[in-house]
Structure 1
């Protein structure tokens, strides 16, 4: 017996009895209505899986309009319920009208029992598929909400930050491409998420991609997807980041680390608003809001021939520069207090506070690693704290390493860091040029800097 509920609506009591007898051995619940006017007040109509509905209720009338009227009423109250229309008058145009208005099928009286049972079973499967789709959409909506929520904490009220947030709010309402620039650790991704949160796409997904961490041979697969068998490890079809972000926002971070070849492929996808999976010839249209970010001077890279000018124009309709922490007057202590409370709660150390001398030390520091460095500094101080008051000695702050070897680095790691910083400074932050000078790949340079910032 199928765990489904069926409602039969017909003004012929003999029909009601016959269908009830036929269906009660196949389905868990079979209910009948003699008067269609009772449909409007029928309890829990949305829990009925299938309605068998007569098309004519008034004597001498066989237009089917009554049935179509009640079909619409049922669909208003329970759109996912499958409705099978019944009539003694066979007419193709009437069947077509019923199907167009939402009926799942159409049967004639007198019916063949086996055929009717097959029709009801098909209608029930259709009902189940619609419920599954509805549940999947609910889960998808919830998943998007979970992904997007809780990641938009932008702390501070300085003039520099307020100006950035005001521009962000204006731009968010549009669909233009945005380029976010700023030093490492300033919060470029937070601004990107804020653009998404305030945009018409806020209920869709936000996909972030660290472009610097993608190996060149996997670039197309990661961004555009691939089909099964297109290369050795392609064991199944896979959508790329562009497809995954369809209808939502795509955030491409570390844009300055792309080779010219990767830039060309990216430009093509942005211009055509479509991608082609590796191993396929079929283009797939994508609708995304593109947000890019970098800590490099892309204009200088264009002059140096390291970044495509046409790509820069494509991603740079609006430019948002995120200020370094040292220029956000007043925000240092606000952020320090925020991180203090977060980590005090995380590590079960309630009642922690920062004394005045320690606050002065935090204010005087230049924060070359910006908000990210402040966050790590506060976490370390909370973990190592032995009392309720954090003193200057609890904060281990280091000035930017000297770029000369006058006093000599203490370790090989420090020497490596100094060489990298010196090379980047000599080439105005140009990763490719610095990597070439150091005799390593841009990817290796990027990985070493990532390791250093952790």
Structure 2
């Protein structure tokens, strides 16, 4: 059987005999040949199909010699798809018209009656050009994602606690498979780092890792972000866009905060996962995708299934293997390692020299409940380094941390001593504002400098 080295071809000409002859010739060499005698159907056809090459007649029955109709439809095609590969055909061609056609965006120019060998050679070159356009688009989208990934700090997983050693064991077992993974854990525990670790140890490690924060997607952006869209599909669709499913093809797709999806969006996601194909907005063309799926959420999706707010069939689809990432308060043995890791990074960033943390500082960090988990610890170390003046971080450099929940009210002091009252009011303001000195000072009616002096005075 002869290999079909041409892609999908659309031929538009009002001569039915020519259309039939062209189809008979090309169907041996092309994957698909569509013929159309009415040029008014061109917008519908190219909006609902992905053609590699369009063969377009320059002269239809309304005007058989000037080529104006051909230029009109060429312009229409290019407005819908700027990267469309169009070859113009005419029986009345000349050099001037050929040059104009190329300036208007045509890829090549064919005179009829054509020579079969020349037509096939021209179409073969045009299909290769189209394929290069697709590769450039894909590489461009993946490059943007990779550049964003390279800017993300702290890609290593730090931990030696028993809980983390167990997770490392699970990662090693599941990474070599294509099993879907669901990572559960509170905000700030490092769910994305676990997802990346699985990808980096998988058979897909040389392909793309594409992450999506599902919690940040609105109903209107969901399909565009995941499935992509065609230019003109909606008001702001100024160019074709590849969705994250296509970007992650042959690689790993990470869907963070999947528990935040509404029921209608859960249904759309489930359909794509079941069919293993997506359809860009503005087209009816299904595009097959090959992805390894990793999802994460800070919500109890099992309870959500019981309450009817998360689809059970979607849960079955995404959690072939489930990994629970414990909060930082349950892996206190890892706090010194993490603190030292962030200390080195931020010391370098802010060009400061620190020998480490004092025993008192480490004790404070290990006894603090860390409601924001590792992310909160990271920010705490950064803030302490910015404000500290010595060459070690001690407990005073973490004055903004409170062992009390922010919502807990500071008890009224038994004493009416003004210093005691002021100390409690300051502590309450700091707790209320999450340790933000600027906000606390503003609420207290003080300058930052005045508040710092009082913090030092009361040892807060």
TM over 0.5: yes
Matched, 1:393 2:393: no
Q: Secondary structure at the match of 1:330?
A: helix
Structure-1 separation of matches of 2:146 and 2:229: 27
Whole-angstrom CA distance in 2 between matches of 1:144 and 1:403: 39
CA distance in 2 between partners of 1:200 and 1:144 (Å): 20
Q: Shift of residue 325 of structure 1?
A: 1.1
Tell me, in whole angstroms, the C-alpha distance in 1 between the residues paired with 2:236 and 2:139.
Answer: 33
Is the Cα contact below 8 Å between 1:173 and 1:198 reproduced in 2?
A: yes
Of 237, 253, 259, 1:234 maps to 237
- Quickly say closer, same or farther: Cα 1:138–1:307, change in 2 above 3 A: closer
Question: Whole-Å Cα distance in 1 between the matches of residues 410 and 352 of structure 2?
Answer: 42
Q: Does 1:201 align with 2:204?
A: yes
Partner of residue 379 from structure 1, selected from 357, 373, 382: 382
Instruction: Tell me the equivalent position of 1:94.
Output: none
1:145/1:234 CA distance change after superposition, 3 Å: closer
> Does the CA contact (< 8 Å) of 1:145 and 1:203 recur in 2?
no
Kept in 2, the 8 Å contact 1:187–1:371? The answer is: yes
**How far 1:399 sits from its partner (Å)?**
3.3
8 Å CA contact 1:274–1:285 kept in 2: the answer is yes
Equivalent in 157, 174, 196 of residue 154 of structure 1: 157
Q: Secondary structure at the match of 1:264?
A: helix
**Secondary structure of 1:220 counterpart:** helix
Q: 1:266 aligns with which of 262, 265, 269?
A: 269
Report if the CA contact (8 A) 1:147-1:205 is conserved: no
Q: Give secondary structure in 1 for the equivalent of 2:215.
A: helix
8 Å CA contact retained: 1:368, 1:400: no
TM-score normalised by L of structure 2: 0.58
Correspondence list, 1:8-407, <5 A: 152-395=155-398, 396-399=400-403, 401=405, 403=407
Give aligned pairs, total.
296
User: CA 1:141–1:210 in 2, change beyond 3 Å: closer, same or farther?
Assistant: closer
Shift of 1:359: 1.3
Q: Secondary structure at the match of 1:207?
A: strand
Report the Cα distance in structure 2 between the residues aligned to 1:139 and 1:260, rounded to whole angstroms.
Answer: 33
Contact 2:225 2:244 in 1 (8 A): yes
1:355 shift after superposition: 1.1
Using the TM superposition, give the Cα deviation of residue 142 of structure 1 relative to its aligned residue in structure 2, in angstroms. 8.5
Query: Contact 2:184 / 2:324 at 8 angstroms: preserved in 1?
Result: yes
> CA contact under 8 A between 2:406 and 2:432: conserved in structure 1?
no
Corresponding residue number in structure 1 for 2:94:
none
Asked whether the 8 Å contact 2:360–2:394 carries over to 1, the reply is yes
Task: Please report the TM-score for the alignment, with normalisation by the length of structure 1.
Answer: 0.59
Deviation at 1:352, TM superposition (A): 3.5
TM-superposed deviation, 1:386: 0.7
Change in Cα spacing, 1:203 to 1:274, as seen in structure 2 (3 Å) is same
What secondary structure sits across from 2:157 in the alignment? coil
Residues 237 and 148 of structure 1: CA distance in aligned 2, closer, same or farther (over 3 Å): closer
Change beyond 3 A, Cα 1:141–1:182: closer
> Which residue does the alignment assign to 1:46?
none
- Cα deviations by residue, 1:48-95 (Å, 9 ceiling, x for unpaired): xxxxxxxxxxxxxxxxxxxxxxxxxxxxxxxxxxxxxxxxxxxxxxxx
Q: By how many angstroms is 1:351 displaced?
A: 3.2
Distance 1:265 1:199, change over 3 A: same
Q: Specify every segment of 5 or more residues in structure 1 that has no aligned partner in the other structure, as ranges.
A: 1-117, 417-454
In the alignment, what sits opposite 1:67?
none
**Aligned equivalents of 1:221 and 1:360: distance in 2?**
48
What are structure 2's unaligned runs of at least 5 residues?
1-117, 413-424, 435-460
**Distance in 2 separating the partners of 1:353 and 1:246:** 44
1:397-417 Cα deviation digits (max 9, x unpaired):
123535566869967x9599x
C-alpha change, 1:407 and 1:234, in structure 2 (3 Å) is: farther
Query: Quick one: distance in 1 between partners of 2:406 and 2:365?
Result: 21
1:255–1:293 CA contact under 8 A, matched in 2: yes
> What is the SS of the residue equivalent to 1:331?
helix
Post-superposition shift, 1:235? 1.6
1:264 is displaced (CA, Å) by 0.4
Is the 8 Å Cα contact of residues 142 and 208 (structure 2) preserved in structure 1?
no
**1:367 Cα deviation after fit:** 1.2
